[in-house]
A and B are shown apart, each in its own frame.
Chain A
Amino acid sequence: MFRSAFKGAVVAGSAGLLCAGILSSPAQADSIYKGTKTGSIDVLGGGHKWTYTDAQYRSTSMKNAQSHVIHVKYKGCLKWRARAAVQYPTGGHSTSDQQTVNGCNKTAYITVLGKSTAKVTLSVFLIVSGDTRSVAVSPIK
């Protein structure tokens, strides 16, 4: 049985604890690190950028399943929420995860398990103003 080499793929700092927790759960016990997608979301169009990393793992125990371990970071001081949604491996419905953070230079950690061919929609929502913007993150084959 192939054991994933995720040791080298742990993203950073406290995220390592998160990744270990994620990957020790039954559906993720065996997974292959596929790579990390990075990008930014410009919510207000004025250069206030949220940056993200999406570390992707293909499950070897569940068919057509790819998990996304996502970190979203913003250097400024705001209350905001990051949310990721993706079509579930068996199709049709979607699953999502979200986290709200408040303060300066904060990082949100969210994880979703999706169909390995499905794009993840990653959004940032500003709690006070209600402004929101999202991007589509492609799965790594």
Chain B
Amino acid sequence: MYRATSQGRRRPGVLTRIATVGATALLASSAMAMGAPSALAGPTGETGAAAPKAGCGTPVLKAWYDSDQFGTYLKVWFETPKGCAKGTSVSSLSGNVNCTSGPSKGKRVYQEKKSGKAPLSTLTRSLPAKSKCGSFHATAGIGYTLGGGKIWEDAWTWKWGNAPA
């Protein structure tokens, strides 16, 4: 498929695709190609690979810093993990974010839930500006219809302006 780029000629080894929401997985996987071997583990100690048919493991948090002429906005949403088989039934995907510093400290600034089939994502919402909230703590849980009631959870903390980890 030919795609016209405004970037001119491509230099080998350099990604010239403009990052778009749909390209997240491609960029992430390219960047992680050299990463250390990693094992995702749920709260009870099972790895993501231990639940192939029933589910796909822990949920993913996506944070996107969007800029326009008026400023920069932090938008977040939660989604089913990369590689989750299309059509996997999700009984509940829920995520929430709390502010942990600044004037809005202690406030819940995001809370969304969704059910359906993978790929699934919760509503994208903007988090408060840096002046209102300097850092965040997010948690998410996902339950799969065939998962026997097990909830896969994960948590992230980060400062406004940085990536969640």
Could you list which residues of chain A lie within 8 angstroms of chain B, going by C-beta atoms? 18, 21-22, 25-28, 61-63, 67, 79, 81, 83-100, 102, 108-113, 118-123, 125, 127-128, 130, 132-134, 136
Contact = CB atoms under 8 A, between A and B. Distances in A.
Given A100-B41, A125-B155, A92 B64 contact: yes
Given A88-B19, A92-B65, A100-B38, A132 B163 contact: no
6 contacts: A27-B13, A61-B14, A121-B162, A125-B155, A130-B43, A134-B158
B19 A97 contact: no
B28 A96 contact: yes
Given A21-B34, A111-B36, A121 B159 contact: yes
Contact of A127 (B43, B159, B163): B43
B157 A97 contact: no
Contacts of B23: 93
A42 to B, nearest CB: 13
A94 B163 contact: yes
Interface string B18-57: 1100011001100111111111110101010000000000
Contacts of B36: 18, 97, 99, 108-111
Task: Categorize the interface residue count of chain B.
Answer: 35 or more
A9 to B, nearest CB: 16
Contact of B32 (A61, A93, A95, A109): A95
B165 A122 contact: yes
A28 B47 CA distance: 30
Contact of A90 (B15, B33, B64, B65): B15
Given A121-B162, A121-B165, A91 B41 contact: no
A97 B32 contact: yes
A79 B41 contact: yes
Contacts of A67: 34
